[in-house]
Structure 1
Amino acid sequence: MPKTEKIFSAKSLHYFLQLIDTMNYTQAAQILGITQPALTQQIKKLERTIGVPLFGQIGKKLYLTEAGKQLQTGAIRLLDTINSVVDDIQEFTQADKGTITIGMLENITTKILHLFLADFSKRFPDIKIKVRYFKREDLWHELDNNLIDLAIMYLPDNTKKNIVDLQQQYRYSEIYKDRIVVLTHKKDLESGKTYPVSALKDRKWVAYPEEFYLSQLMRDYFGNKHKMDVPISFSSTEQLVSTAEGNDYDTFINESYYEAHKKEITLTPVYLKPEKDFSVSLVYRKGKREVPRIENILAEFKNFLDNYKQSSKLEEK
C-alpha cells in the first residue's frame, strides 16, 4: 500500500479539521478524546507526507498556511464522500430506511396502489417513496438501466419481446386483471354486452396515442379490415371520456377506471369479442430482492393485496 494511503486516513483528516476549528492543540485534543502529543504526531505525519507545513505560528497563535488551506478543502470533500458512501451502504442494508422509486405506465390509475402506499408510509416513515409516470418504452428503459426500483404496467407486453426475455431478467406479480371497455353513443347496443368489432366499424374515436398499450389492443381487435378513424387523441383518460361525451365520438378505457367513475359516465359501456384480459402487474429486476427495503415493500404489498382481495370478497358476499 502506498505511503500516502496509510497516512491520509479518515481519522487523520478528521483530526486535522478539528484542529482548524479550534486552532489550539490542547482544546482539539480534548474534543477528540486523545492526548495532545498524539494529535501533534498525526499533524506532523501529514506535513511530512505533503512536504510542507500545514500550520504556521505567530507567538502562541496558530494559522493555516496556503498548503493547509488547500488540504482543508480536499479533506472536507473526501470526508463528505466517505460519509455519503457509508450512508448509502447502511441504507442498502436496512429494510426500513432509504428511497424506493416506482415507475407507472401513464394511463394506469390504481386505487389499490394509492391505498397501499399511504398505509406503507405510515408504518415505515423513514422510507421515501417516489412515483413517476412513463410511456411504455420509457418505462422499460428505466427498468433496464436500474433508474427505478419497481414498475406498474400492463402485461402481457410485446414492447421488448425481441430485446429481453421477461422470464429470465425480471420478476413480476399480478396486482389485478383488467380489460377494455368501449364507451359508445350507439343506441342499439346494450350496456354490458359483448359485440364483434364490426358493430363499431363505422364509428369515429377519441383514443389514446398510438404507442399506448390500450391503443395497441384496439388496433389488434380492428386489424387491417376495420381501420379505426381517430380524429382526436389524448393521453389523459379523463379527457378521453369528457371529449367523447361532448361529441358523437366513441372511446375506450380500462374497466378498472370505468368501475371507479361509472356514476359520472353517460356513455354506454360494451365489450368486444373475443374478450381479452390483461393484468396490471408489478415488475422488477431479479436482483432487486437482494435490497432489504425492496424485499420489505414487496412482502408488505403482497400481504396488503391478499387482505384487500379477502375484504373485497367479504363485501361482495
Structure 2
Amino acid sequence: MPKTDTILSAKSLHYFLQLIDTMNYTQAAQILGITQPALTQQVKKLEHAIGAPLFGQMGKKLYLTEAGKEMETAAVELLNTINGVVSDIQEYTQADKGNISVGILNSLQSNIFYQFLGEFNKKYPDVTFTINYFDHKELWRRLDTNQVDMAIMYLPDNTKKEDTNLRHQYNYESFYDDKLVILTHKTTFEAGESYPVSRFVNRKWVAYPDNFYLTPLMHGYFGKKNKPIIPIKIGSTKELIKMAENSDYDTILLLHNPIMTPIVMKLIQPI
C-alpha cells in the first residue's frame, strides 16, 4: 500500500483541520482527546507525505504555509466526500430513513396510494417521497434506468418492447383490480351489464390521448377493422367525463375512479 494511502486518512485530516482551528498544539490535542506528541507526529507524517511544511512558526504563533492552505482546501473537500458517502450508505442500510422516488401513470387515479402514504408517514416520519406523473412509455423508461425506485401503473402492460429498453425483471404487487367501463348515451343498454365491443363500433368517443394507458387498450379491444372514432382527446379524467356529459360522445374509464358519475354505465368485454 502506498505511503500516502496510510497517511491521508480521515483521522489525520481531521487532526490537521482541528489544529488550524486553534493554531495551538496543546489546545488542539485536548479537544481531540490525544497527547500533544501524538498530534505533532500526525502533522509531521502529513508534511512528509506532501513533501512540504504545512505550518510555519513566528515566535510562539503558528501560521499556515502556502502548502498548508492548499492542503486545508483539499482536506475539507475530502472529508466532506467521505462524510457524504458514509451518510448515503447509512441511508440505504436503514429501512426507516431515506427518500423513495415514485413514478405514477398519469391516467391513474392514485387515491389509495395517497392514503397509504399518509399512514406510512405516521409510522416512518424520516422516510420522504418524491412523486411524479409520466405517460406509460416514459414511466417504463425511468424505471428501467433507475430514475424512479417504484412505479404505479396498470397491468397487463401493453408497451412495445422496441419502444423502451425493458432490460430488467421486476417484482410487483397488485393494489386492486379494475373493471373497464363505458359511459354511454345509448339507451338500449342496461347499466351494469357486459356487452361485446361490436355493439359500440359506430359510436363516437371522447377519450384519453394516445400516450395514456386506456386509449391503446381501447384500440386493442376494438381491433384494426373496427378502429374507434375519437374526435376529442382529453388528458383530465374530470374533464373527460364533463365532455361526455355535455355531448353525445361516449367515453371509456375504469370503475375504481372515485369522481366518476356515470351517465349510463356499461361494462365492456372483448369480442
Normalising by structure 1, we get a TM-score of 0.79
Report deviation, 1:26: 1.2
Matched, 1:60 2:60: yes
- Paired residues of 1:210 and 1:216 also in contact (CA < 8 A): yes
Displacement after TM superposition at 1:194 (Å):
2.1
- Give the partner amino acid of 1:271: L
Which has the larger share of helix?
Answer: 1
> 2: CA distance between counterparts of 1:198 and 1:165?
37
* Residues 214 and 253, structure 1, Cα contact 8 Å, conserved in 2: yes
Q: Give the equivalent residue in structure 1 for 2:185.
A: 185
Secondary structure of 1:216's match?
helix
Distance in 2 between residues matched to 1:236 and 1:61, nearest whole Å: 72
Runs (4+) of structure 1 exceeding 6 A deviation are: none
Q: Which has the higher contact order (CA 8 A, sep 6+)?
A: 1
| 1:162-210 CA distance string (max 9 Å, x none) | 76487xx221121111122111222333322222323322322211111
Match in the other structure for 2:213:
213
Any unmatched runs of 5+ in structure 1? 276-317
Over residues 122-159 of structure 1, what are the superposed CA-to-partner deviations in whole Å (9 max), with x where a residue is unaligned?
A: 01111112222121111111221222221111111131
Question: Which one has a bigger Cα radius of gyration?
Answer: 2
Matching residue of 1:46? 46
- Whether 1:132 aligns to 2:132 is yes
Alignment of 1:40-189 (within 5 A): 40-161=40-161, 164=166, 169-189=169-189
State the AA in 2 paired with 1:104.
I
**1:206/1:240 contact within 8 Å kept:** yes
What is the aligned partner in structure 1 of residue 2 from structure 2? Answer: 2
* Post-superposition offset of 1:29: 0.8
The CA distance in 2 between the partners of 1:23 and 1:127, in whole Å, is: 41
Pairing 1:269–2:269 present: no
Which ranges in structure 2 are unaligned for 5 or more consecutive residues? none
Q: Structure 1, residues 230-283: CA drift from partner, whole Å, max 9, x if none?
A: 2221222122112222322221111111xx124xx25211122338xxxxxxxx
Alpha carbons 2:144, 2:166 under 8 Å: kept: no
What is the DSSP-based 3-state SS (H/G/I as helix, E as strand, rest coil) of the residue aligned with 1:199? Answer: helix
Equivalenced residues, count: 269
Of stretches 101-110 and 189-198 in structure 1, the one that deviates more from structure 2 is: 189-198
TM-score where L is the length of structure 2? 0.92
Whole-Å Cα distance in 2 between the matches of residues 142 and 123 of structure 1?
28
Answer whether contact 1:193 1:270 (CA < 8 A) is retained. yes
Change (3 A) 1:201 1:87: same
Give the superposed CA RMSD. Answer: 1.9
What percent of counterpart residues are identical? 57
